[in-house]
């Protein structure tokens, strides 16, 4: 059983350490009209989809690929958070005959709240700074539908040579990231302070 756990951890984490260019090239083949994904859709009676060749489907397709590529990183974060939860909390809940849903709602979810906020903010920042995937898979197309903020900065500065505008866009993006980071820090700190006060109160009792 232990070996199986290690195998799945490695299997889920391998895409995280792979080059984004390699992963993007792999998914170009998966999303192609003759690719494996359209073959699977064909077996259940769905017509072939254009995916990255469609202005409507290109960005969601890249989002699916990016989610798959980064899933292992979030998995490790949540796995560490689950292992850090005090087992005594679940034991106390079982003594009160709490159901599985109630233990998840009242123990697991509140304990993982800081991690959920951290993961949400890092995913949001990662979505805005996405560059390699649209560059390799679509070149920003079709019809500029996969232009991200960082890709736009890259095109503005290195292709159009509008250095001043690209610098301004970079500053705005850095300010946006800073705001998200401050929000994450404040929320996580408040959660930590509440936990510290609860532990202190319990000791005094």
What is the CATH classification number for the domain harbouring 124? 1.10.3720.10
State the residue range of the domain holding 83. 2-204
The pTM score is: 0.81
- pLDDT tens digit sequence for 69-119: 999 999 889 988 999 998 998 988 888 888 889 999 989 998 888 888 888
What total number of domains does the chain contain? 1
- pLDDT tens digit sequence for 43-72: 999 999 999 999 999 999 999 999 999 999
Report whether 112 contacts 81 (CB < 8 A): yes
């Amino acid at each position: 059983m232990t070996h199986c756990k290690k195998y799945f951890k490695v299997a889920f984490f391998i895409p995280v350490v792979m080059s984004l260019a390699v992963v993007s090239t792999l998914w170009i083949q998966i999303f192609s009209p003759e690719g494996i994904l359209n073959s699977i859709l064909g077996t259940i009676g769905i017509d072939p989809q254009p995916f990255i060749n469609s202005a409507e489907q290109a960005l969601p397709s890249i989002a699916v690929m990016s989610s798959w590529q980064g899933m292992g990183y979030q998995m490790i974060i949540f796995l560490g958070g689950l292992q850090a939860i005090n087992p005594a909390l679940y034991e106390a809940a079982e003594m009160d005959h709490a159901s599985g849903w109630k233990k998840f709602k009242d123990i697991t979810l509140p304990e993982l709240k800081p991690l959920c906020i951290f993961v949400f903010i890092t995913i949001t920042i990662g979505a805005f700074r996405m560059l390699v995937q649209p560059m390799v898979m679509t070149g920003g197309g079709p019809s500029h539908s996969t232009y991200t903020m960082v890709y736009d900065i890259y095109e503005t500065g290195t292709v159009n040579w509008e250095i001043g505008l690209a610098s301004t866009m970079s500053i705005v993006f850095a300010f946006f990231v800073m705001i998200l980071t401050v929000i994450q820090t404040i929320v996580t700190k408040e959660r930590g302070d509440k936990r510290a006060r609860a532990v202190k109160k319990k000791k005094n009792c």
